[in-house]
Amino acid sequence: MRKIIVSINVTLDGFMAGPRGELDWHFPHWNEEMASFAFEQLCMVDSILLGRVTYQAMASYWPYEANNTAYGRQECSYANMMNNYAKIVFSKSLRTVEWRNTRLVKKDIGKAVMALKEQPGMDMIILGSGSIVSRLMHLGLVDEIVLWVHPVTLGNGIPLFRDMQDRYPLKLLRTKAFSSGVVILYYEKASRQKGIKAMRGKGKLRATSCEPRAEGNES
């Protein structure tokens, strides 16, 4: 069965955005080695799941970056993958989606995601989209979480897990530190029973070479 992998930037004090959705706090730490890691991560999946806010931000950016002459080969490949991969947007308010290879799901997110997990293909990734992450975690459908922890605190903002009401046991698989001070914490879902026992009782990432590939239009 295909996995659902969450990849999201977060501050040291647990915010995924500022009070008004600001993301400027993570730009100072972004560097070439992080870009390479993000590229390798995207090579390991073939579908992207998004919430409305993240979709609208990305749809207004990536379609115009594939032919950016200021980009190197890897950056252009990343832009092409973002544009060509199958994308599923979960939103009750959106009426249409214009970004290439994007399909809109307006209801029954759990049923839709289970159907996606059972389809053949590579794993799927959620980029940002905190509200969607919380809903899928509540349903037990998130398999792995990649937290990009930035060396900054905001004091106030939008918490990553603001809508979570239940425990979600996780197991740390590996960590990776970048020269910018950003640390990646890579978790997988642990069984609830193992998580309870652990509470009572108290790897290396695969780099994949890939080329951009086109997917059928799902919009």
pLDDT of residue 164: 78
Question: In Å, how far are 68, 144, 172, 194, 195 from 189, measured between CA atoms?
Answer: 38, 6, 9, 10, 9
Q: CA-CA distance, 31 to 148, in Å (whole number)?
A: 13
Please report whether residue 72 resides in a domain.
yes
The set of residues, in sequence order, having a beta carbon less than 8 Å from that of 173 and lying 6+ positions away, is: 144, 186, 187, 188, 203
The CATH number of residue 107's host domain is: 3.40.430.10
- Our count of domains for the chain comes to 1
Domain that holds residue 52: 4-189
Please report whether residue 211 resides in a domain.
no
Mean pLDDT, contiguous 10-residue spans, the chain (219 residues)? 95 93 91 91 95 92 76 78 94 92 93 95 93 90 96 94 83 96 96 46 42 40
Model-level pTM?
0.82
pLDDT of residue 69: 58
Please report whether residue 196 resides in a domain.
no
Please report whether residue 206 resides in a domain.
no
- Tell me how crowded residue 135 is: count the other CB atoms within 10 A of its CB: 19
pLDDT of residue 94: 93
pLDDT of residue 175: 97
Please report whether residue 208 resides in a domain.
no
* Average pLDDT across the chain, whole number: 85
pLDDT of residue 71: 66
pLDDT of residue 192: 52
Please report whether residue 165 resides in a domain.
yes
pLDDT of residue 200: 44
